[in-house]
Amino acid sequence: MRILLVEDDSLIGRAVEQALRDAALAIDWVQDGDAALSAIKTEDYSLLLLDLGLPGKDGFEVLRLLRQRKYSVPVIIITARDAVEDRIKGLDYGADDYLVKPFSIDELQARIRAVIRRKNGNATPLMDNDILSLDPATRKVSCDSKVYDLSSREYALLHALMLRPGSILSRAQLEERIYGWNEEVTSNAIEFIIHGLRKKLGKDTIKNVRGLGWMVSK
Ligand code: CA
């Protein structure tokens, strides 16, 4: 899952970037509103973390333009502004949630999970099909009543597939979902991760659709 962080404070930006990367999320970080708008034009993000006080266009303006341009990407506002009017304005401008700084990274992660769950129309926190069950809160996967610990990349890739069970994702689509801008991707990286996943979880867990990509069953 790939997230865009819009935050001009380097200290906070670095901390959030690192923490979310450790949590197996792909994250791109920009420091002003225009950079955010152009990143959203070119990349397919699952979620936007948006600071309000930004140089140039502020967060409200970025949010207003996004929604005006019909981008439906979920937005969580992260800001030091805790006035009720700001929260109301943020939500009414089309944000999905609002978190006041300083916040705990654990709470941020839980809110990200909740927003993604809602976006995908899931009431329950577990993602499962007939074969696999994946828990975004613990990043554990169960299969045949065994529980598996996956590497960050393995988890990120499986999560991307489980978000769209029954749909084929190509190598490029998987790369886009699990790697951020600053991360180097080797040409066979995706095949390598899939190979590792199948070895752990069993061959039938991820189907290879020759020439097109991979999928998990519905
Ligand atoms: Ca700021």
Nearest to 146 by CA among 160, 126, 132: 132
Dist. CA 82 → ligand 1 center (Å) = 13
CA of 8 to the centre of ligand 1 (A): 5
- Between vectors from CA 202 to CA 199 and to CA 203, what angle results, nearest 5°? 90
Phi, psi of 93 (to 5 degrees): -75, -10
Q: So what's the pLDDT on residue 124?
A: 86
Going along the chain from its start, the domains and CATH numbers come out as 2-119 (3.40.50.2300), 127-215 (1.10.10.10)
With b meaning 16 or more CB within 10 Å and e meaning fewer, what string describes 48-57? bbbbbebeeb
Distance 52 CA to ligand 1 centre (A): 6
- 80: CA distance to ligand 1 center in Å? 8
Give 154-179 pLDDT, tens digit per residue: 999 999 999 999 999 999 999 999 99
Cα(42) to centroid of ligand 1, in Å? 24
Which residues place a Cβ less than 5 A from the ion ligand 1?
8, 51, 53
What's the 36 CA to ligand 1 centre distance in angstroms?
Answer: 14
Distance in Å, CA 172 to ligand 1 centroid: 33
CB 198 within 8 A of CB 150: no
Kindly give the parts of the chain with pLDDT less than 70. none
Amino acid at 21: R
pLDDT for the residue 122: 83
Would you state the pLDDT for residue 92?
96
What is the C-alpha to C-alpha distance for residues 49 and 66, in angstroms, rounded to an integer?
Answer: 13
